[in-house]
Structure 1
Amino acid sequence: MVFSFRSSSRDEDRDALRIIGETVRNRLSANPAAYRLPVDEIEIYAVSEFLDTADCRRLIAMVDDVARPSPTYDDNHDKGRTSYTGDVDPKNPFIRTLQKRIDDLLGLDPALGETMQGQRYAVGQEFRHHFDYFVTKHDYWETERARGGQRSWTAMGYLNTVEEGGATDFSKANLTVPPEAGVLLIWNNMLPDGRPNPKTLHAGTPVLRGTKYVLTKWYRARPWA
């Protein structure tokens, strides 16, 4: 069974985010392949070898095909995003299968998931500290509220092992995760009660040697449009 929630008000979104958090938490905690990282500030899990070598190579080629200079959300602490980014084709059979694997892993309705996005970082490129959730006081919130509301969970797959640098740094949780090919990192951007968790502030640190490739999928409180 997968979780689906349909709502339009902010208060009900909080309820949805709380239930989504519980759904995914229970699902991952019962999965022996999912390892909860030992920090108290964030609900964050890792699944090793979620992607095999062939998957990673294929996805890297797809990212290269769509990569463009990364956009940012104004006032969302992500001005320092110097990577290349692009949405992978959601109709591609390989991508559809991968999306289903992630949906099933988390136990969420596919309708809640945004289109998967690939990112490429060359030497010196980074994504400075930012939140994946939306800061609702800013102007972009009304647009995001209308197309699915707040983000709940992030699933990020590392497509290669970077020679040096490129770690994911959760500075407020004292946690740094090095990029390792095939690993899927999953975290809840909310607190257990459905409020945004400021301890999820994180960065993609500068790549010092090599190139970094990742694939990211975000989930919303309501069906994403």
Structure 2
Amino acid sequence: MAIKTQTMNKPVMNTQSLIRQAIACFNQNDPQQGKALLQRAADAGSAAAVLYYADILFKEDRLAAYKYLGQQWQRGVKGTLHRRALLRCFFDKQNSYTNDELFSDLHEEAIDGDIQSIVALISVMQSADVSRYYCALLQQFSPELAQQLLHASYTVQEASVTSTELSQAFSTGLQGWQQFNCEKINSDIGLVVAKAALTDIECRYMMLRFSSLLQPSQIVDPVSGTAKQNPYRTGSMVAIVPEYLDWIALGIELKMSAFAGFARQNGEVMNLIHYDVQQRYLPHFDAIVGDTSTLSSQLRNGGQRQLTVLAYLNTVSAGGETSFPKLGIKVPAQAGDMLMFRNIDAAGKLLQASYHAGEPVQAGEKWLLSKWVRQGVTDYGTFAYG
């Protein structure tokens, strides 16, 4: 039996070390050296370095980044077309792309087995007859995930559709991100509900992906400025920080901004919240109130919380409404619905009627997403969206 020996004149390059060195260079304001190190790691076969380098390049020259990602796909680096579609759809302020280009990138990755691209395509398409093609792919490449996300079983033979039908369904789905079936409930605080704004896949995906990261909910102490557990608010939550922003999370944030009419840079981090039976959030204001130095420092991060946007991920069997005691209104939690209301008026004064609560869950459980929107750009908005 022949024994393979490692040649000593070509030591194996530690790409993780190169990436760490590159990050250090960026932190030390030496971007050119950082990019050079990332290129070395990418050339050595690190897919993570390829994607990281493309993100850096995108900030300088988006078209060059798109070309680079396409070239890396031709070299056999997986995930590069998905990243190109993601950058185009959520970060290209010049809209220098077409829906067909987005679809083509995601489709190529999907048929090659990329789960993120398959889930992205299913989430966008509203037609079950068309999306079943990608449901079949998901079942083929990840049976366990398909079982958790889908209501039915699919086979590729049953899901025969043309590429034109697939592309058209994708484009129609994207257009739906800007269109909402709205019900105006109260004009005093601009309380509006968008019915079925999120798809079933979006709702189930967010619950499935982030449920294991939940931690007991906390409330910020107005005096110390520290977050603490408090019986005033029970349940659990997880912040969807920038490193968690994938296609589904980004799509939901984009829908929220289109629905409520705010720039994504003005948003705070989106939170996934879970309430079990009898858990609740007692009546409170979302606006930052008080006059302590801690509260004043909070206002420096984008100003006052002007808007609240909620998205319900499941239908609560009993209880769990979002209530507004001063208005005598209770909004039931229905899967896929989004809700928004104002916390302050045009002059920045607190709207007393925005006083609200998460009613106790009487049966089942409650899952939702929350987004607070400031008057100006937030730290999160700058980090996530530039």
Residue 135 of structure 1: aligned partner: 289
Residue 53 of structure 1: aligned partner: 200
| Larger strand share, 1 or 2 | 1
| AA matched with 2:206 | L
Residue 198 of structure 1: aligned partner: 352
Distance 1:144 1:62 in 2: 30
What percent of counterpart residues are identical? 28
Determine helix, strand or coil for the equivalent of 1:140. helix
Residue 124 of structure 2: aligned partner: none
Determine helix, strand or coil for the equivalent of 2:326. helix
Q: What whole-Å deviation, never above 9, does each CA across 1:38-93 have from its counterpart, x for those lacking one?
A: x35321101001011111101112341321011102259x8510110111243322
Distance 1:86 1:221 in 2: 24
Question: Aligned runs of 1:176-187 on 2, under 5 Å?
Answer: 176-187=330-341
Distance 2:318 2:278 in 1: 11
**Contact 1:42/1:173, CA 8 A, preserved across alignment:** no
Question: Aligned runs of 1:33-112 on 2, under 5 Å?
Answer: 33-37=181-185, 39-75=186-222, 80-90=232-242, 91-112=245-266
- Structure having greater relative contact order (Cα 8 Å, sep ≥ 6): 1
Q: What whole-Å deviation, never above 9, does each CA across 1:90-136 have from its counterpart, x for those lacking one?
A: 33222112212222223322110111101000011110001110003
**Contact 1:63/1:120, CA 8 A, preserved across alignment:** no
**Contact 1:151/1:221, CA 8 A, preserved across alignment:** yes
Distance 2:197 2:307 in 1: 17
TM-score, normalisation: structure 1: 0.79
- 1:180 to 1:190, Cα distance in 2 relative to 1, 3 A: same
**Contact 2:180/2:259, CA 8 A, preserved across alignment:** no
**TM-aligned CA deviation for residue 169 of structure 1:** 0.8
Question: Aligned runs of 1:102-181 on 2, under 5 Å?
Answer: 102-181=256-335
Determine helix, strand or coil for the equivalent of 2:353. helix
Determine helix, strand or coil for the equivalent of 2:339. strand
**Contact 1:152/1:189, CA 8 A, preserved across alignment:** yes
Distance 2:180 2:274 in 1: 30
Query: Structure 1 stretches (4+) deviating beyond 6 angstroms?
Result: none
User: Structure 1, unaligned stretches of length 5 or more?
Assistant: 1-30
TM-score, normalisation: structure 2: 0.47
| Larger helix share, 1 or 2 | 2
Q: What whole-Å deviation, never above 9, does each CA across 1:186-207 have from its counterpart, x for those lacking one?
A: 1111124331101111110111
The size of the alignment, in residue pairs, is 193
Distance 2:292 2:200 in 1: 41
Structure with bigger gyration radius: 2
